Amino acid sequence: MSTARAWQPVRALAQRRAFSTTPRALDNYAFIGLGRMGYQMAKNLQSKLPPGDTIRLYDINQSAAEKLAKEMKTQQAGGAAPEVSTSVAGAAKEADVVISCLPEPQHVRSTYEALLKDIADLPPRSQPRLFIDSSTIDPHTSSTVRQLVEDKLAGQGHFVDAPMSGGVVGAAAGTLTFMLGSDKSLVSRLEPILLRMGKRVLHCGPQTAGLAAKLANNLLLGIQNIGTAEAMLLGVKLGLDPKVLADVINASTGKCWASEVNNPVPGVVPTAPASRGYEGGFGIELMLKDMKLAQDAARRIDLQQTMATKALDVYERASKDAECKGRDFSVVYQVFDKTNGQGP
């Protein structure tokens, strides 16, 4: 990621409204990737777009796209007209805005290679297309895809990264926070689109800056989670009531999201995954993925990371434990407890 240009500190962007007396141009959208997050994001986007707009849906699992389109039509009271596409190129061909939310870096790259083949030779548009990738991938792949878009579309398309925070609950409620990496000149076009799926947009800097912020945050979260689990286990083994210990930590300097909201000890926070058998929440496999992406980004810039390396090892071993698979990443507390605090 280039450091040649200085950027202003991250700022939250508030939604703006514009009024016009001239007829509005109708917009076409494509949403690619309808997993647990993308499904809910596309649903919110469609419902908040003005009538007359179109949103084309694509997922490798076509039944997911068909199910979502049916829900949209059933519940539609205004909003964009939904259509199901059978290919990424079909979804993107007429789109002014393409939004992707995909699992892995290779999926993002192959998706954009496929859709660009069919749209690269289309006539120029009144304004360049927007390609918004909300996948959590490594900055290197994202930068490579951006260059691919620039090379193929010759100024007729802008690729930006906009990973999000808030989980499936936030996606369903439309309360996501987007970490945007784009040229400042594009923010005024991007912001209203993202605010139809979330409540906050943080412009972090140029393209890949959003991903850099997301990976740095999740790296810290992963380390905090392990530290909280070990601290809570220490207190419990020394005879402390875990709720009392949590109250002390959360009134003191050890307070963090992992201790206050997502406490790893069952029964301490009733709404936390730990209190329902570690079901739901942020899966340990997803945390492992993000830790690996952060480590890959660090290696590319020759950055040594002591705690991150140790934390990655914990998540790698815990994710292989049959009792941890598919559970919230705070389940490492259970692993530590089972092995007397020595790690999995």
Residue ranges of E strands in the chain = 11-13, 28-32, 54-58, 81-84, 97-100, 129-133, 157-161, 164-165, 176-181, 198-205
Which one from 93, 152, 214, 338 is the annotated catalytic residue? 214
Residue type, 106: Q
The DSSP symbol for 267 reads T
* Residue from 240, 231, 312, 313 nearest 264 by CA: 231
**Using an 8 Å Cβ cutoff, are 180 and 203 in contact?**
yes
Is residue 320 part of the annotated active site? The answer reads no
Task: List, as own/partner pairs, every contact residues 34-38 make where C-beta atoms lie below 8 angstroms and the sequence separation is at least 24, other chains included.
Answer: 34/58, 34/59, 34/61, 34/64, 34/65, 34/68, 34/101, 35/59, 35/101, 35/102, 35/103, 36/168, 36/171, 37/101, 37/134, 37/164, 37/167, 37/168, 37/171, 38/101, 38/102, 38/134
Q: Is 158 helix (H, G, I), strand (E, B) or coil?
A: strand
Residues pairing with 30 in the sheet: 56, 98
Q: How many CB atoms lie within 10 A of CB 51?
A: 11
Which distant-in-sequence residues (6+ apart) come within 8 Å of 65 by Cβ? 34, 57, 58, 59, 84, 85
Output the DSSP codes for 40-98. HHHHHHHHHSPBTBEEEEE-SSHHHHHHHHHHHHHH-SSSPEEEE-SSHHHHHTT-SEE
d(CA 139, CA 294): 9
d(CA 103, CA 138): 12
The residues annotated with a catalytic role in the active site are: 214
